[in-house]
Structure 1
Amino acid sequence: MPTSHPPQDYEELIRIIHDRHDQMSKTYQRIAVYLTQNPNEVAVHSVNAIAERCGIHASSFVRFAQSLGYKGFKELQALFQKRLATAAPGFEARVKALETELKGAGDPTEIGFLRDLVVRDIASLQQLLDEVNPEDLALAADLLDRADIIYLIGQLRSSPVVELLRYVLTMLGKRCVLLDPGGGLATHIGRTIRKTDVLLAVSFRFYANEVVNVVEEAGQKGIDIIAISDSTLSPLARWARVLFPVPEHDYTFSRSLAAPMCLAQALVVAVAARVQHNDEDPRIPTVTGT
């Protein structure tokens, strides 16, 4: 059923999308995820270009907008354009410059592949900087600093992020437990997390079942959860006290970890500042010896 009064601003639109997501068709769910993951791209591209990037016919985007009470997709898109003009002036120019550079490269060599990936990662990191919430960063660092034990979980492509976090947080003197899938014990170890601990979970599409299950059980117990995922519609979002949605872009067969790894490093540097009481020049202990 279409909404009688369509959302009048971006925040209301996203709230309604979240409220209705579980009742949407599979196609509409894919559209909802794309809209929430890529608000800047939605603002600056045509519906045909957006549909092509999403792999869904443009008419489905029009019907999606109409189901929310809009006459067509352009009315929905106007909310994204207003958000972009207010929150991130200059982004459209960066997008166009990025696309121009990529099209102009046309270099199907090894160094060409490297150049394309680096250019796109630069744009991804800039988007992270533009969109990350400073209050969320501060709260996450406080939670990690105060936790008796920091539990970390991330599987498949997310594994490098939690491995880095375990290494650096341990070097800072924090007690860390990695919920490794080996032996099938991650779920059982997750049940030992206490309310004085923190769970930091990392998961992207297609979300690892064990990660989702551990987060859900911990969330039901009232455990503080910090989540790094790809969308505010991620199954981790419901239970996270702090959620860092890091949109992914399908510009290669293996999605880049540049942005989530950078975010993880920022978190541990913030924890280092708290542990050492040195906000101006926090340092991580140097590992020496063999």
Structure 2
Amino acid sequence: MTVIDQIREHYPALSPTEQRIARHYLQHGRVMVFASASQVARRLGISTSTIVRFAQQLGYSGYVELQERMQSEYDAARRLVSVKVAREDLIEHVVRQDAENIASVLRNEEALISAGIALANAPRVWVTGSRSSGDLASIAWRLLNMVRPNVTLLDPNAADVADRIMDLEPEDVLLVFSMSRYAQEMVQLVELAPPRAGTVLVTDEHVSPLLPFADWPISVATQPAAMFRSLTAVMTALQALVAATAREIGDEQVDARLAKAEEFWARFGTFSSHLGRR
């Protein structure tokens, strides 16, 4: 069991301050690998003894033993990446790792179906995400807009975000994409947004600070095969979510919506009809 697995297992039983330490590790793991307990304590504005108690809650004798485990996992991960990059089967390794990540989507089948029903029946759906999750939110907005009206893309970094979010109604649903490292502006937006029918959260398998606000949490694996965390399973979950939404809406309404889109694309000449040379 990795340190992340241990944190995930013990997280519900941790105190609020210890949960804050856990989230700090998940977001700034590389810093904690080499930082002393006193350095982490100063960074978080808490006592060194609290850092030690956190390590003990995870089953370690103290922070030194926890840090040794962190360093061991970090070194092993670096060696693995180095070996894989140097070998000719790199591409196969990446594909196999992504296949394992995609399999994690199946653990969310019930949540995906329930979230799809909520997204289909809400008067308006608000979609948001920040940094790399903002790209996922943009794709989700585009796909959902193809199967239903009244889908709004919300940029948490926009200057007018407060002016826009105040229009969120009690029956609306908020769809949030948030991956580690979790953007602070997303936590603020979800926490301060008006009361709504519910929040769908698509996130990774870490302990997201947004989980307490989620009515339909969808957590998928983002295990990296090389340098960066994979978003392949997140895209699969996104497509499954749109499919569940479309099924709840029904073929007749979805087909009518798509036909209307085709009409306007043709009217505006949105897509090129040039097929290119053979």
Which interval holds the TM-score relative to the shorter structure? Answer: 0.5 to 0.7
2:56 corresponds, among 42, 60, 67, to 67
Long gaps (5+) in structure 1: 1-9, 35-50, 73-99
Contact kept, 8 Å, 1:272 with 1:284, in 2: the verdict is no
Could you state the TM-score of these two structures normalised by the residue count of structure 2? 0.65
Long gaps (5+) in structure 2: 38-51, 62-79, 272-278
Provide Cα deviations, 1:205-238, integer angstroms capped at 9, x if missing partner: 22222221111123x6254110111246211111
1:263 corresponds, among 215, 224, 237, to 237
Hey, what's the Cα distance between the residues in 2 that align with 1:16 and 1:284?
47
Aligned residue pairs, count: 224
User: Does residue 1:119 correspond to 2:93, yes or no?
Assistant: no
Could you state the TM-score of these two structures normalised by the residue count of structure 1? 0.62
Hey, what's the Cα distance between the residues in 1 that align with 2:122 and 2:173?
6
Contact kept, 8 Å, 1:150 with 1:177, in 2: the verdict is yes
Hey, what's the Cα distance between the residues in 2 that align with 1:17 and 1:243?
16
Shift of the alpha carbon at 1:239? 0.7
Q: Corresponding residue for 1:144?
A: 119
Shift of the alpha carbon at 1:66? 7.7
1:184 corresponds, among 143, 149, 159, to 159
Q: Corresponding residue for 2:208?
A: 234
Shift of the alpha carbon at 1:283? 11
Greater Rg by CA: 2
Q: Percent identity?
A: 21
- Which residue identity lines up with residue 243 of structure 1 in the other structure? P
User: Does residue 1:208 correspond to 2:183, yes or no?
Assistant: yes
Shift of the alpha carbon at 1:107? 2.8
Contact kept, 8 Å, 2:136 with 2:235, in 1: the verdict is yes
Q: Corresponding residue for 1:79?
A: none
Q: Structure 1's 159 and 113: CA in aligned 2 closer, same or farther, altered over 3 A? A: farther
Q: Corresponding residue for 2:44?
A: none
1:31-70 correspondence to structure 2 within 5 Å: 33=26, 56=33, 67-68=56-57
Contact kept, 8 Å, 2:108 with 2:219, in 1: the verdict is no
Hey, what's the Cα distance between the residues in 2 that align with 1:264 and 1:283?
22
Hey, what's the Cα distance between the residues in 1 that align with 2:176 and 2:202?
6
- Which residue identity lines up with residue 144 of structure 1 in the other structure? L
Hey, what's the Cα distance between the residues in 2 that align with 1:242 and 1:175?
20
User: Does residue 1:133 correspond to 2:117, yes or no?
Assistant: no
